[in-house]
Amino acid sequence: MAKNYYTDEFKQQIVSLYKTGKTAKQLSSDYQVGKSTVWKWIHEFNNSGSFKAKDNRSPEENELIQLRKEIKQLRMENDILKQATLIIGKK
């Protein structure tokens, strides 16, 4: 089953309708969107004002992503230094 893609404008419209008094159940039924999806959009927008995953990460998740990037960079640098050592050692 293909995953549905909803634009940020559509999500914003759903959140706006919720704020005007429509229930998540009504919105789910009216727009053929899962009720849990509607709730997710409402919480995301209320927490960060955005629907983008990077804007809705916890500080711990952001730190983990940054640390993984640093590890990747350090491993690459380590591999380069190992190669340089081998090349210099052959001379």
Three-state SS letters, 11-42: HHHHHHHHHCCCCHHHHHHHHCCCHHHHHHHH
CB atoms within 10 A of CB 26: 14
**Is the overall model pTM greater than 0.85, yes or no?**
no
φ, ψ of residue 17 to 5 degrees: the values are -65, -35
Per-residue pLDDT of the chain in tens (91 residues, 90 and over written 9): 557 788 989 988 998 999 999 999 999 999 999 999 999 888 888 877 766 666 667 889 889 989 999 999 999 999 999 999 988 888 6
For residues 41 and 7, the answer to whether their CB atoms sit within 8 Å is: no
